[in-house]
Structure 1
Amino acid sequence: MDEEIDQKVVLVTGGTQGIGLGIAHEFLSKNYYVIICARHEPKENIFENYEKSSMFIQCDISSSESRENLIETIKKNIGRIDVLVNNAGVAPPERKDILEASEEDFEYVIKINLQGPYFLTQQLVNFMIELRLKGNIENYHPSIITISSISAFTSSTSRGEYCISKAGLSMMTKLYADRLAEYDFPVYEIQPGIIKTPMTNGVKSKYDKLIREGILPIKRWGDPKDIGKAAVTLAEGLIPYATGQVLNLDGGFHIRRL
């Protein structure tokens, strides 16, 4: 290890923009050391004034080789990981009716949105267990937080690949919560709703209209910092007697109303 990190360390996948960037900034504000990874380097200095408390590692989480490089870089340069935030995700390259969708688009979305997080979590959890067994880190209480979507339970027939990938993340959360309970590693899922991000820029007018018409009890767009604040709350252990918990950050969208 090149340097000793005394701060708690969080890895945020897909952390260069949108929800991931909002999450990263909230953790930085709480004095975490923040590692972000993404397929492409950020186009600008997104962590100005936080250079000593942050690191970017290029990683395509759909690639086994790239994930292994990510883990080895963290082990060598940081030496610990306290929180994994599975946030990286993509929409299908083109919205197509489920009767016309292609296998290529399905595979593309599933590998990034579901297969990548599934195995990245596996790899990082084994590292966390190793750190716990060594006992070298005082008060070491790691956690896993996965960012899914209201699409985990909401049908959108023009992007079935995305919905299936997010539904899969919900089961992934339950599986890891069950398996890791013996280590006292809590596992959580946050389901964001309509959030202002680059991914939703193309459908802004559609959702502006839906929000005006009352699709949400809380009549506003969500902001990435809304998700970030929730992620920090979970990571700080402020909800201690819970695991496998789903936190709905959707302005009340999940409420069935008449």
Structure 2
Amino acid sequence: MNLNNAVAIVTGGASGLGLATVEEFLARGAKVAIFDMNEAAGQAVVDANPGRVIFAKVNVADEQSTQAGVEATLAAFGAVHVAVNCAGIGTAGKTLDRDSKALPLDSFAKVIQVNLIGTFNVARLAAQAMANNTPDADGQRGVIINTASVAAFDGQTGQAAYSASKGGVVGMTLPMARDLSRYGVRVNTIAPGIFDTPMMKGVSEEYRQPLIAMVQNPKRFGDPAEYGRLCVTIVENNYLNAETIRLDGGIRMQAK
């Protein structure tokens, strides 16, 4: 699928991996709808790209909020061709804490609600819009890219909720791709390692270095632009479907 003049929804698009994806898509001629909760950051991207970007304040875990965002995208640009799910939270908590107290169920449920249910919510509504597109010569109407994590495979201590949410994203990749094949909509997932997002830039070297030591090659955190460029590749390569791709420099996370 050609990104030039395509319309993409990017959740979490106001910062981090989502913003890097927005920038890569814009560089290739796409129009972008940013779904995020950070209005100031999202509006800054709109102001820098007049006519090519809209912002919608969307809670991905809320059906009405997400539907309103999709409708705003259709009203502004007339279609949805690509959806990239980057929105997520990473709250940590052990199953039992040091005092043998169980993790509050609400804490676990919130991570699942945002990371897993929110991803499916956006994907299903974006797919509904994509189904109305005219197929290209290869029968393509749309592309969905979901974001898992290496924690889906190598969850660390305290990551039961996060790993479960991201493992769910991996697990629904193939069945969703099968569900949507008749409509010409491809579904792939990226499982990133540790990327140099604003959050990671703010932590100390004492915390960063042991994480970098787990990376095989190159010995650094990922550059968010590398995530964005992989999203471009997935969109442009029509034969890439139903796959989960680790983008992690070969990292294998230790227990802690």
After TM superposition, the score normalised by the length of structure 1 is 0.86
SS of equivalent to 1:244: coil
The amino acid across from 2:122 in the alignment is L
Correspondences of 1:106-255 after superposition (within 5 Å): 106-132=108-134, 141-200=141-200, 201-202=202-203, 205-211=206-212, 213-236=213-236, 238=237, 240-253=238-251
SS of equivalent to 1:219: coil
SS of equivalent to 1:52: coil
- Give the superposition deviation at 1:56: 0.7
Deviates more, 1:195-204 or 1:9-18: 195-204
Relative to 1, partners in 2 of residues 1:214 and 1:58: Cα closer, same or farther, differing over 3 Å?
A: closer
CA distance in 1, matches of 2:193, 2:115: 17
Q: CA RMSD in A?
A: 2.4
- Give the superposition deviation at 1:79: 1.5
CA distance in 1, matches of 2:16, 2:150: 16
- Give the superposition deviation at 1:242: 2.9
CA distance in 2, matches of 1:42, 1:23: 18
- Give the superposition deviation at 1:160: 1.4
Contact 2:214/2:251, CA 8 A, preserved across alignment: no
SS of equivalent to 1:10: strand
Deviations 1:40-65 (A, max 9, x none): 21347235542221111110011111
Q: Please, which runs of 5 or more residues in structure 2 have no aligned partner?
A: 97-101
Relative to 1, partners in 2 of residues 1:58 and 1:173: Cα closer, same or farther, differing over 3 Å?
A: same
Contact 1:150/1:191, CA 8 A, preserved across alignment: yes
The amino acid across from 1:232 in the alignment is V
Contact 2:180/2:186, CA 8 A, preserved across alignment: yes
The amino acid across from 2:219 in the alignment is K
CA distance in 1, matches of 2:233, 2:44: 26
- Give the superposition deviation at 1:122: 1.1
CA distance in 2, matches of 1:144, 1:67: 15
Q: Which residue of structure 1 lines up, in the alignment, with residue 93 of structure 2?
A: 96
Query: Kindly, what percent of the aligned residue pairs are identical?
Result: 29
Contact 2:60/2:66, CA 8 A, preserved across alignment: yes
CA distance in 2, matches of 1:65, 1:109: 19
Q: Which residue of structure 1 lines up, in the alignment, with residue 11 of structure 2?
A: 13
Contact 2:17/2:227, CA 8 A, preserved across alignment: yes
Contact 1:98/1:157, CA 8 A, preserved across alignment: no
Q: Which residue of structure 2 lines up, in the alignment, with residue 30 of structure 1?
A: 28
- Give the superposition deviation at 1:139: 8.0
Deviations 1:7-48 (A, max 9, x none): 111110011111111111011111100111112213472355
Aligned residues: 243
- Give the superposition deviation at 1:166: 0.4
CA distance in 1, matches of 2:89, 2:125: 22
SS of equivalent to 1:143: strand
Deviates more, 1:55-64 or 1:41-50: 41-50
Relative to 1, partners in 2 of residues 1:141 and 1:65: Cα closer, same or farther, differing over 3 Å?
A: closer
- Give the superposition deviation at 1:155: 1.8
- Give the superposition deviation at 1:245: 1.1
Structure 1 runs of 4+ off > 4 angstroms?
none
Q: Which residue of structure 2 lines up, in the alignment, with residue 45 of structure 1?
A: 44
